[in-house]
Chain A
Amino acid sequence: MILLATAAFADAAGVRAVVDRNQATVGESIALQVTIDGGKGDVDLSGLTDFKTISRGSSSSFQMINGRTSRQLIHDYVLIPLKAGNLTIPAIPVTIDGKIHYTTPIGVTVSKEPTTDSGQRDVYVTADVSDPAPWVGQQMIYTFRLFNAVQVADAKFQAPEFNGFNAEELEDRQSHRTVVNGREFIVTEVKFILVPVKKGSLEIQPAVLQVGLLQRNRRPRPFSGMDAFFGRSQMTTRILETDPIAVQVKGLPPRPPGRSFSGLVGRFEIAASMDKTAVQVGDSTTLAVTISGSGNIMDATAPAIAAPPEFKTYADNPEAQIQPGPQGYSGRKIFRTALVPVQPGQYRIEPNRLTYFDVESGAYRNIATPPFDVTVSPSETAAADIDVFRGTPVQPPSLKNRVEFTGRDILPLKEGLEALKPQRSLPPRWFGLFLAIPVLVFLAVRTVMQMAQKDDSPGRIMADRARAALKSAASADTTDADFLSALYRTLVSAILGRQGVMGTSLTWSEASDQLLKIGWNADDATATARLLETIESFNYSGAHLDMQKRADLLERTRQAVRRLTR
């Protein structure tokens, strides 16, 4: 089995391709190695159209020969031939540093696989369905089988899409042994329950199984002769596909008139039982209707109980016992209804009828429960006695039904023209701006208010008065009396305002004291106090002021005020 099939050394660039063998059957794997000496390169396998390629990763190795180191990068691939014949692995382009190098083409002889019933294959797969021409809604079994006569490992199963079917895989995967043409195989089965949901020609795509086969080493290695002794083996990968399966799904025939089709497709029975047929008024008796069989039993809905109007009915939640099995879904569903008569008499509970589609006969079938005759006698319990039990009320059975969808569809279009109004998204910058505007407005208003707010302290008021009086004094058309009075008010207001007190008059000595208190030196304080005295004396003496004197007094007062209100 030691086989080094083809080792094709390419040009001086150091690119070569090697396969582990050049003879194989369809579906059997061939290991391909592309080796790049000296560095990295991009391998393009798009030209391998006759093979399915699977990358197995890459590895690198370093060698040192006579002091010189060299590096190899090895890309591993698995090739699966897609057809029989003399195939060629073409020259594989490898791009190294922008330059394309090619490996040498390799010829591979691919033979057809022997037939499955020949027993010559080591491993193969099959698939079939229990009924290739089912009705819409009829359940069928899809069975995938793996036959292996050699040890397999790392099996990866990819089920078909089952387009047009509702599919559920049965959890139990079974294995058994079988003999094919004198050779023993292990058969592993994977089953799916399929229910076609539409009529017409449907195709179940191939199922794919990737499996590793444990085989003796084929590639020559140093001391490979020891492999046989030690029983060493290596894994080869195979991709196995089943054949596609054509299924012709038949539509259900027209429903029989006058009957309500239950939607059940398969094979079903209906039965009913009543725990008491002789009851008293107010007592309850339970009618249990059981629908059993195989098919879409889970879709069975509660039958309508044809009870006389003298009965109150209380439906219980249905009890379902449904199992998926090798024959599909089967089981039963029990619908219990409590019947409480309110009038004595003889009554008949009419049969419950069920119409389902029988897949064996290919026709709708009507089945029914037997009728029940119920005798209702007057209650022996007097009303007064009943009152005794009213202290412990019993929760009556729920009258409400769980609402289920009876059909599925989408809600209609929005036909209003508001569907044409653009719904533009607010850009983030506008959002940020809208958030910032109230903050900015708040800050601006607050600043303005602070600026506009007047200082109503005595010092501020007196300073304002001083300035106003000085302005009045500076007016050219004032009389001497008004002029002097204004200067007096100016000085008094400025001095008192500096002290932070209100007032309208000061003597020259008080003025001097006040000025000394605020830190003026004695000369300045005395000078300003003398100015106040001078103004006052001019005012009381009634002497005429010439222009120069007025200007002098005004200037001295202005300087004092400027210093005091600074």
Chain B
Amino acid sequence: MKAWLLTAGSLVLLLTVAATAPATQNARTFMNGTEAYRNGDWPAAIAAFKSLVAKGVNNGNLFYNLGNAYLKNEDLGHALLWYARALKRIPDNPDLRFNYEYALTLTKDERGQKESPLLRILFFWKYQLSHSSVRWMAILFNAALWIALSVLISRKKRLLRPSVILIAAATLIFSATAIYNYVETLQVKYAVILPEQVAVRSGFSDTDTQLFVLHAGTKVRVTRQADTHLLIRYTEDKIGWVKRSEAEII
């Protein structure tokens, strides 16, 4: 009996150690990255943070750190790419907003597709809240709505009606926004130009006509994807092909 207990205990300890080993390793890699960043070794910091991303760590703060490291390494294209990816996860983070806006001042091209400020005011929750926050608010309001409806029907309290109408409106708004976000994520792709300068051409070949030139950090909309190239739209009247290595989808 004693031997059985000893064996079981050892097995549990072994499983615990095995489970926490990757987490400890990730933490060590992360600490190495921050240490390299503090020491001004930006390439080492980038390598450390990117290895975490390669391991599947999907976190806005990590992407923010990658953006910082790339920006310090004077790689504006990748810096804005990772800032943009971080913005999809933590759009309301003030540090991220500050650094992103600063990096945008370093780009050479004007912003192509400008969003209407009126839309940003009218649908402020869409722009201020992360996709995840919108989804969970929709779920919570929906649950509250049906609980309130149950109470309203079973207790027949008319006083509850205004509250139910308000909750229903909030449920509708957040559910519609969440669905729109899903569709937008699926259908609308944006990319960031990575090299210092990219020739946007009328076709895949280097001999095809150069239509216009874009620079590092410029955000473009991806309208079609081929094996080796992306068809990008900078503004309504500026569309062309770039190599996949020259622009990465956010």
Segment at the A interface, from B115-123, B144-152, B219-227, B234-242: B144-152
* Contact digits for B38-73, partner A, Cβ 8 Å, 1 yes 0 no: 000000000000001000111111101100100110
Residues of A within 8 A of B182 (CB): 428, 431
B27 near A413: Cβ-Cβ < 8 Å: no
Residues of A within 8 A of B59 (CB): 418-423
B27 near A420: Cβ-Cβ < 8 Å: yes
The interface centre, meaning the residue of A54, A55, A435, A441 with most chain B CB atoms within 10 A of its CB, is A435
Q: Does B32 contact A (CB under 8 A)?
A: no
B208 near A55: Cβ-Cβ < 8 Å: yes
A411 near B98: Cβ-Cβ < 8 Å: yes
Q: How far is the CB of B185 from chain A (nearest CB, A)?
A: 8
- List 12 contacting pairs A-B, 8 Å CB cutoff, sorted by A: A55-B208, A55-B209, A410-B102, A419-B62, A420-B27, A422-B58, A426-B135, A431-B135, A431-B138, A434-B139, A435-B142, A438-B146
Bound Cα distance from A162 to B250, whole angstroms: 28
Residues of A within 8 A of B175 (CB): 435
**Residue of B with least CB distance to A52:** B207
B34 near A54: Cβ-Cβ < 8 Å: no
Residues of A within 8 A of B191 (CB): none
Residues of B within 8 A of A412 (CB): 68
B139 near A431: Cβ-Cβ < 8 Å: yes
**Residue of B with least CB distance to A163:** B196
Q: How far is the CB of B32 from chain A (nearest CB, A)?
A: 12
Within B190-222, which residues are at the interface with A (CB < 8 Å)? 196-197, 202, 205, 207-209
B37 near A413: Cβ-Cβ < 8 Å: yes
Q: How far is the CB of B124 from chain A (nearest CB, A)?
A: 22
Q: Does B95 contact A (CB under 8 A)?
A: yes
Q: How far is the CB of B98 from chain A (nearest CB, A)?
A: 6
The interface centre, meaning the residue of A45, A48, A412, A446 with most chain B CB atoms within 10 A of its CB, is A412
Instruction: Kindly identify which residue among A413, A419, A439 contacts B146, using a CB–CB cutoff of 8 Å.
Output: A439
Bound Cα distance from A555 to B205, whole angstroms: 98
| Known contacts A426-B132, A431-B135; A420 and B62 CB within 8 A of each other | yes
A423 near B89: Cβ-Cβ < 8 Å: yes
Bound Cα distance from A422 to B34, whole angstroms: 18
* Contact digits for A422-460, partner B, Cβ 8 Å, 1 yes 0 no: 111110100100110111011001100100000000000
B65 near A442: Cβ-Cβ < 8 Å: no
| Known contacts A46-B205, A421-B59; A414 and B95 CB within 8 A of each other | yes
B178 near A414: Cβ-Cβ < 8 Å: no
The interface centre, meaning the residue of B27, B34, B71, B136 with most chain A CB atoms within 10 A of its CB, is B34
**Residue of B with least CB distance to A426:** B135
Within B49-108, which residues are at the interface with A (CB < 8 Å)? 52, 56-62, 64-65, 68, 71-72, 89, 95, 98-99, 102-103, 105
* Contact digits for A169-207, partner B, Cβ 8 Å, 1 yes 0 no: 000000000000000000000000000000000000000
B95 near A445: Cβ-Cβ < 8 Å: no
Q: Does A257 contact B (CB under 8 A)?
A: no
Instruction: Kindly identify which residue among A161, A426, A446 contacts B153, using a CB–CB cutoff of 8 Å.
Output: A446
The interface centre, meaning the residue of A423, A424, A434 with most chain B CB atoms within 10 A of its CB, is A423
B57 near A414: Cβ-Cβ < 8 Å: no
Q: Does A53 contact B (CB under 8 A)?
A: yes
Q: Does A417 contact B (CB under 8 A)?
A: yes
Bound Cα distance from A435 to B172, whole angstroms: 11
Q: Does B125 contact A (CB under 8 A)?
A: no
Q: How far is the CB of B91 from chain A (nearest CB, A)?
A: 12
Q: How far is the CB of B54 from chain A (nearest CB, A)?
A: 13
Residues of B within 8 A of A446 (CB): 150, 153
Instruction: Kindly identify which residue among B145, B202, B207 contacts A438, using a CB–CB cutoff of 8 Å.
Output: B145
Extra A-B contacts (10), CB below 8 Å, given A410-B99, A419-B30, A431-B139: A46-B205, A55-B208, A161-B197, A409-B102, A413-B68, A418-B59, A419-B57, A419-B62, A420-B59, A437-B143
Q: How far is the CB of B37 from chain A (nearest CB, A)?
A: 6
A422 near B135: Cβ-Cβ < 8 Å: no
Q: Does A400 contact B (CB under 8 A)?
A: no
Residues of B within 8 A of A408 (CB): 102, 105
| Known contacts A55-B208, A420-B52; A445 and B178 CB within 8 A of each other | no
Bound Cα distance from A435 to B202, whole angstroms: 46
| Known contacts A425-B132, A435-B142, A438-B146; A418 and B207 CB within 8 A of each other | no
Bound Cα distance from A195 to B18, whole angstroms: 58
Residues of A within 8 A of B61 (CB): 414, 416, 418-419
Q: Does B131 contact A (CB under 8 A)?
A: yes
Instruction: Kindly identify which residue among A46, A410, A414, A438 contacts B71, using a CB–CB cutoff of 8 Å.
Output: A410
